[in-house]
Structure 1
Amino acid sequence: MTTPNPIRRFVEATNEADTEAFLGIFADDAFLSDWGRSFQGREQIARWNQSDNIGVKSHLSIVGITPAEGSYRVRIAVKGKGFNGEGDMTFTLDGDRIASLVIT
């Protein structure tokens, strides 16, 4: 399956440590849940990005992707100075933006 553009850009922006591009991928009112911790809107997602993503030098690789009822379940391998290992991210898209991201 071809990776949808917003998901591809999410991975690329993270790997390039491009915070501006990373935040630009999200809809203004996007929602992010990271193992039950909730972040609403770009300002809160920017804080998550600093504490859990680009701020800890994460490098992401897509292991697999499966469409699932209006969303995409993506298995991601993570390396960096924070979490290391694999996990699932469920992306819901709104056009060329991420409307929600749930990390489990």
Structure 2
Amino acid sequence: MTTIPQPVQVLLDAANANDIDAFLAGFTRDGVVDDWGREFTGAERIRGWSDNEFIGKQVSLDVEETVARDGETVITAQVGGNGFNGPSHFSFRVDGDKVSRMTIRA
């Protein structure tokens, strides 16, 4: 298993703590969440998405596997909470000490 880069760990920890402010602070200014092809750019749009579908649903992420692939960190996690539950893959692109893109796929 690949070591999780610190900027990615910050987002995972914030999600598991249901801390939207820490979650948003972990993204670059023009950060993007791609949730199955629906893209949300910038803190305001990411907050709206998260309030309705992620942290607002008391998400929990239990990391099962981490791999580095094509310059990204890919996490396989069991997702829990009051929204989607089940296995999912999260790809993270890091820029400096922040995440510039988080992509969610099954």
Aligned residues: 104
Gapped regions of structure 2 (runs ≥ 5): none
- What is the aligned partner in structure 1 of residue 52 from structure 2? 51
Q: Determine helix, strand or coil for the equivalent of 1:49.
A: helix
Q: Determine helix, strand or coil for the equivalent of 2:87.
A: strand
- What is the aligned partner in structure 1 of residue 3 from structure 2? 2
Matched residues, percent identical? 34
**2:60 is aligned with 1:39:** no
Contact in 1 for aligned 2:4/2:73 (Cα 8 Å) = no
Amino acid at match of 1:49: S
**2:17 is aligned with 1:16:** yes
Q: Which runs of 4+ in 1 moved over 6 A?
A: none
The C-alpha deviation readout for 1:22-70, integer Å capped at 9, x for no partner, is 1000001011110111111111111111111110001111111110121
Contact in 1 for aligned 2:61/2:77 (Cα 8 Å) = yes
Normalised by the length of structure 1, the TM-score is 0.95
